[in-house]
Structure 1
Amino acid sequence: MQIATEERVTDHIEVDEITAQGLLDALVDPVRRSIVRQLFASDTDIACGHFDINVSRSTGTHHFKVLRQAGVIRQYYVGTSKMNTLRRADLESVAPGLIEAIMAMPETARRPAGADSGRH
């Protein structure tokens, strides 16, 4: 049986360190929002290598770090797999409804019917 450990991931912030600016900065990037959407929709934690993101491994590592340091996710190891969990309760306590509202929004803007793209 493998034991979960956070010993190798040491830069999680405490819930009282989570800020609106940090959350918004972390969630402005579409790749990071995709990671959060996948965690939000999942009933289980997800290993880094199992996300559906189209970036290099090093770029993915950067995105996970930004989310972790903003307090959006918590990471821990199970054996050699780095697992990710959405900090739902912590996020809800500091920003009630924020994650649910962002997850409910469409990822791409919908243009009104008949909109002329070149004229204001």
Structure 2
Amino acid sequence: MPDVEGHPTREEMDLRTVLNALADPLRYGVVSALLREAEGTARTCASFNLPVSKSTLTHHFRVLREAGLVRQVDRGNNRAATLRTEDLDACFPGLLDLLRANP
């Protein structure tokens, strides 16, 4: 069962859900940008400068969070996202390497 923030456990992460989340070019771009950062780097949602409304931005990050791609934490008036590298490598070996090779 996902935690109160909507983050699935490793056992709940599903490849089809992850691939569906990555199918959107904006969400793929967010994950790609996080892959280029140092591991564990947390970025606010607004720092990605996506050309969408705030509500659409919230939707995209919810999809990423619920798929298990990112972990979000509250930081005052905003939320910061980090890539769940360790969980993704454990559940889907090689996936992040493919994404790094295809930014």
How would you bin the TM-score normalised by the shorter chain? 0.7 to 0.9
CA contact (8 A) 1:46 1:83 kept: yes
CA contact (8 A) 1:34 1:53 kept: no
Match of residue 73, structure 1, among 64, 67, 70: 70
Structure 2 matches for 1:14-53, cutoff 5 A? 14-43=9-38, 44-53=41-50
Task: Name 1:83's counterpart in structure 2.
Answer: 80
Task: Give the letter for the 1:65 counterpart.
Answer: R
| Cα deviation 1:50-93 (Å, max 9, x = unaligned) | 11311111111111000000000000012222010000000000
- Number of equivalenced pairs: 99
Structure 2 portions without partners, runs of 5+ = none
CA contact (8 A) 1:74 1:86 kept: yes
Q: Which is higher, the Rg of structure 1 or of structure 2?
A: 1
Task: Name 1:117's counterpart in structure 2.
Answer: none
Task: Name 2:90's counterpart in structure 1.
Answer: 93
SS in structure 1 at match of 2:81: strand
Relative to its length, the structure with more helix (as a share) is 2
The CA RMSD measured in Å over matched residues stands at 1.6
Give the percent of matched residue pairs that are identical in Structure 1 and Structure 2: 40
TM-score (norm 1): 0.76
CA contact (8 A) 2:32 2:99 kept: no
Provide runs of 4+ in structure 1 moved above 4 Å.
Answer: none
| Cα deviation 1:22-61 (Å, max 9, x = unaligned) | 1111100000001111111122210111113111111111
TM-score (norm 2): 0.88
Task: Name 1:58's counterpart in structure 2.
Answer: 55
Task: Give the letter for the 1:70 counterpart.
Answer: A
